[in-house]
Amino acid sequence: MFESLNPLIRPRSIAVIGASDDATRIGGRPIAYMRQQGFAGGLYPVNPKRDTVQGLRAFPDVASLPEVPDVGLVAVPGEAAVDAIEALGARGTRAAIVFTAGFAEVDEAGAAAQERMVEAARRHGVRLLGPNCLGLFNAAVGFYPIFSSSFESGWPIQGRIGIASQSGAYGTHVFAVARNRGMGTSICVTTGNEGEVTLGDVIGWMAEAPEVDVICTYAEGIRESDRFLKALELARRNRKPIVMMKVGRSELGGEAAKSHTASIAGDDAVTDAVLREFGVVRARTTEELLDIAYAAQKRIYPANNTLGVITVSGGAGVLISDAADALGFPMPAMPEEAQKALRDIIPFCAPRNPVDCTAQAFNLPSAMGDFARSMARDGGYTSCLGFFTQVGGSKTVAPKMRAQMKQVMAEHPDRLWVLSVIASPEMVREYEEDGFLVFEDPTRAVAALHAMGRFGEAFSGMPAASPALPRVTLPATTPTEAEAKRILAEAGVPAVPERACATPDAAAQAARGIGYPVVLKILSPDILHKSEIGGVLLNIGDEAALREGFATLLARAAERAPGARIEGVLVAKQITGAVEMAMGIVRDPVFGPVAMVGLGGIFIEVLKDVAFRRCPFDAAEAERMIRSLRGFPLLDGARGRPGADVAALAAALSALSAFAAAAGERLAAVDVNPVLVLPEGHGAFAADAVVEVT
């Protein structure tokens, strides 16, 4: 479905509008690069003032080109760029790359001009990259519509990593770092202002393109969800790992910020949840981005990844174990029998895992192979890491070790084999040609190997099943608490037993029915956060206290929320022995309704221990979210308490997500806080709820 980008990235011909004879200018560089790198397609400079450009025949305008170019490169300023899109579209060109700046990134007028340009592109069916973009390259075919100066220090290495970046400078930075590490990045696309073609389009194209195995991407913010989500799903289905650098942590803006739930969120957390949903691995540094891409080139993605470590330094073994532990990367012990066998080879070895074969291994030519073989065969590790430090770079010892390890790797080609060695670049290249991944730093090796397992999990898992959506009819305006709870209960989110009471007598009768102690809460469509005006009274033990409380609440409302419409009080069962959780819905401007769950009360704000997920999702996914909380042990029966009804909470959370997905755009936010989770088998109940409707 992303094949409409073919003329953009894999064209047979290109016209350069604003072509310059000066190979250092932005309209000149692409022509010089493509000639130097032997682009075999049609290359048509357009420049009304010149007959030739850099030795090529130049054309005065798009109309006079000898054929319809697959793509037009636009390097003319201001309004002329908009005209160029019109001209290309009229000629039948299907793609354009716009270097020109001064559009939406500058001011309102620029934004309007960009709008006109994009409108023209859409009208003509032109896929438009930019404006204000650095361009792209497809090194495999010598296609360089890009004005970066990066190539001064070298051309890309051919290879199967694709780079998709919103930032031009950062995208080419990644390419240059990759090149210096000997990594092949044949295709790099930078999206600039994303007037039309977005990061999602580029990722989607790469997910389908046979040229690309691994996708490295850089994002400052996701601007549209539809193609982005399709692209992620396509990449997962095609087993193409995506590793993403996503920067920036801005607050959720606009309406959503009004709800408490939103104030602890932030679109970065939402994007993070979306990336996790599709198995995209997020890198924190450029090094990590490329470490993961480097390892991913092997195309070995074990769904149940385990780490086996063979080391010549016990100290490094502990360091590696710490790193694996911090990532939750399992390092199961070798089987007892195998441990015994290893001890027979080297008596003072530590054969558990990490397997410390000690420096002795280098005196026994065959030991290294025996150890590695046992780890692959008996230990069954999917990721095998050898820490050999300088010994792996020693001209005397390393060749023997290399031969041994190579033999074992050939016997187990389905494993990830990584060496942590300090060796000359030439020796590293030799190891790599053998098929080993090589990392000098063992901690970085562990992180990269762990990511392969995360890809494996994503590739082997099915997309989560969507629950059936209920029919939802939202009220015209934000409902009262009682009404909000009724709406949610209908959707499958049960509430604590309670009654709305307009008078003290009605309240007293309700409390007798529910049973003391009860909770009293002010009931008003105009007071969303009752506790802020002292509108909640706990522990009402008898009728006298209830009548006094009723009066207190009305007095407080009159004083602290003058003008609010007061409908009486809610009388609710006071529940004890429950774990207080919170859940809610925020509307992300890009990804729509997003559900969250966390510890209740003020812990959710202070400790920010919250899980997010796009709506809707099933109860199994809801339970995974709940279990991912750091505070999960509170539900799991810490310190001899009974376990809480996690299944009921998960069912309610899933029902809430289905409600939000069905409710449509008028649902601004939901805040269910607290949700009281009773012991296993006894349910989970909303004790307070806000449903914000716009």
Nearest-angstrom CA–CA distance, 433 and 435: 5
Q: Which residue has the tokens 């009262």?
A: 480
Residue of the chain from 125, 314, 365, 642 that contacts its own copies (CB under 8 A): 314
Q: Which stretch binds its own copies (CB under 8 A): 115-123, 282-290, 452-460, 653-661?
A: 282-290
Task: For residue 571, give the H/E element and its range.
Answer: strand 568-573
Q: Which stretch binds its own copies (CB under 8 A): 312-320, 473-481, 489-497, 519-527?
A: 312-320
Encoded one letter per residue, x for contact with its own copies by CB under 8 A and - for no contact, window 139-168 reads ----------xx-xx-----------xxxx
Nearest to 126 by CA among 78, 74, 83, 71: 71
Cα dist from 504 to 428, 491, 565, 568, whole Å: 82, 31, 17, 9
Nearest-angstrom CA–CA distance, 595 and 612: 6
Nearest to 672 by CA among 485, 469, 491: 485
Query: 565 to 584, contacts with its own copies by CB under 8 A?
Result: none
- Determine phi and psi for 659, rounding to 5 degrees: -55, -45
195 binds its own copies (CB under 8 A): no
Query: 436 to 465, contacts with its own copies by CB under 8 A?
Result: 440-444
The distance of Cα 192 from the centroid of its chain, to the nearest Å, equals 20
328 binds its own copies (CB under 8 A): no
Q: Which stretch binds its own copies (CB under 8 A): 82-90, 122-130, 628-636, 658-666?
A: 628-636
Measured from the CB atom, is 352 or 486 closer to its own copies?
A: 352
Tokens (6 digits) for 483: 């009404």
Measured from the CB atom, is 152 or 433 closer to its own copies?
A: 152
- Determine phi and psi for 378, rounding to 5 degrees: -85, -40
β partners of residue 594: 586, 614
The distance of Cα 331 from the centroid of its chain, to the nearest Å, equals 26
Residue of the chain from 3, 79, 322, 344 that contacts its own copies (CB under 8 A): 322
Query: 478 to 497, contacts with its own copies by CB under 8 A?
Result: none
Query: 199 to 218, contacts with its own copies by CB under 8 A?
Result: 218
Determine the Cα angle at 563 with ends 557 and 566, to 5°: 55
The distance of Cα 343 from the centroid of its chain, to the nearest Å, equals 45
Distance of closest approach, residue 691 Cβ to its own copies, in angstroms: 21
Tokens (6 digits) for 464: 């989560």
Nearest-angstrom CA–CA distance, 353 and 333: 5
Q: Which stretch binds its own copies (CB under 8 A): 65-73, 278-286, 560-568, 647-655?
A: 278-286
Q: Which residue has the tokens 């997500």?
A: 657
325 binds its own copies (CB under 8 A): yes
422 binds its own copies (CB under 8 A): yes
Distance of closest approach, residue 53 Cβ to its own copies, in angstroms: 22
For residue 35, the 8-state DSSP code is H
Contact 628, 583 (CB under 8 A): no
Contact 485, 656 (CB under 8 A): no
Distance of closest approach, residue 421 Cβ to its own copies, in angstroms: 10
Q: Which stretch binds its own copies (CB under 8 A): 334-342, 367-375, 391-399, 585-593?
A: 391-399
Contact 281, 451 (CB under 8 A): yes
Nearest-angstrom CA–CA distance, 228 and 2: 11
Q: Which stretch binds its own copies (CB under 8 A): 60-68, 284-292, 428-436, 486-494?
A: 284-292
514 binds its own copies (CB under 8 A): no
DSSP calls for 64-133: G-SS--SEEEE---THHHHHHHHHHHHHT--EEEE---SSTTT-HHHHHHHHHHHHHHHHHT-EEE-SS-
389 binds its own copies (CB under 8 A): yes
Distance of closest approach, residue 633 Cβ to its own copies, in angstroms: 4
Contact 393, 399 (CB under 8 A): no
Residue of the chain from 143, 170, 294, 612 that contacts its own copies (CB under 8 A): 170
475 binds its own copies (CB under 8 A): no
395 binds its own copies (CB under 8 A): yes
Distance of closest approach, residue 465 Cβ to its own copies, in angstroms: 31
Q: Which residues contact 530 (CB under 8 A, 6 or more apart)?
A: 481, 521, 522, 536, 688
Nearest-angstrom CA–CA distance, 143 and 37: 8
Distance of closest approach, residue 448 Cβ to its own copies, in angstroms: 13
Distance of closest approach, residue 23 Cβ to its own copies, in angstroms: 13
CA-atom Rg of the chain in angstroms:
31
Task: For residue 677, give the H/E element and its range.
Answer: strand 667-677
Tokens (6 digits) for 588: 């992300």
Measured from the CB atom, is 393 or 470 closer to its own copies?
A: 393
Distance of closest approach, residue 427 Cβ to its own copies, in angstroms: 10
Q: Sheet harboring 536-540: ordered strands across?
A: 498-501, 568-573, 518-523, 536-540
Cα dist from 250 to 265, 270, 465, whole Å: 10, 11, 31
Nearest-angstrom CA–CA distance, 353 and 334: 6
Distance of closest approach, residue 503 Cβ to its own copies, in angstroms: 28
The distance of Cα 271 from the centroid of its chain, to the nearest Å, equals 6
193 binds its own copies (CB under 8 A): no
Residue of the chain from 286, 466, 509, 552 that contacts its own copies (CB under 8 A): 286
Query: 83 to 142, contacts with its own copies by CB under 8 A?
Result: 106
For residue 642, the 8-state DSSP code is P
Nearest-angstrom CA–CA distance, 239 and 161: 14
The total of other beta-carbon atoms located within 10 Å of residue 563's CB is: 7
Query: 669 to 688, contacts with its own copies by CB under 8 A?
Result: none
Measured from the CB atom, is 63 or 544 closer to its own copies?
A: 544
Measured from the CB atom, is 11 or 600 closer to its own copies?
A: 600
Query: 587 to 626, contacts with its own copies by CB under 8 A?
Result: 602-603, 605-607, 609
13 binds its own copies (CB under 8 A): no
Distance of closest approach, residue 549 Cβ to its own copies, in angstroms: 17
Residue of the chain from 12, 122, 173, 223 that contacts its own copies (CB under 8 A): 173
340 binds its own copies (CB under 8 A): no
Encoded one letter per residue, x for contact with its own copies by CB under 8 A and - for no contact, window 235-274 reads ----------x-xxx-------------------------
Count residues near its own copies (CB under 8 A): 67
Q: Which stretch binds its own copies (CB under 8 A): 48-56, 279-287, 485-493, 544-552?
A: 279-287
Q: Which residue has the tokens 């420049």?
A: 47
Distance of closest approach, residue 588 Cβ to its own copies, in angstroms: 20
38 binds its own copies (CB under 8 A): no
Measured from the CB atom, is 5 or 290 closer to its own copies?
A: 290
Q: Which residue has the tokens 């075919």?
A: 141
The contact set with its own copies (CB under 8 A) reads 106, 149-150, 152-153, 165-170, 172-173, 176-177, 180, 218, 220, 245, 247-249, 284-287, 312-316, 318-319, 322-323, 325, 348, 359, 389-391, 393-397, 422, 424, 440-444, 532, 602-603, 605-607, 609, 630-631, 633-634, 638-640
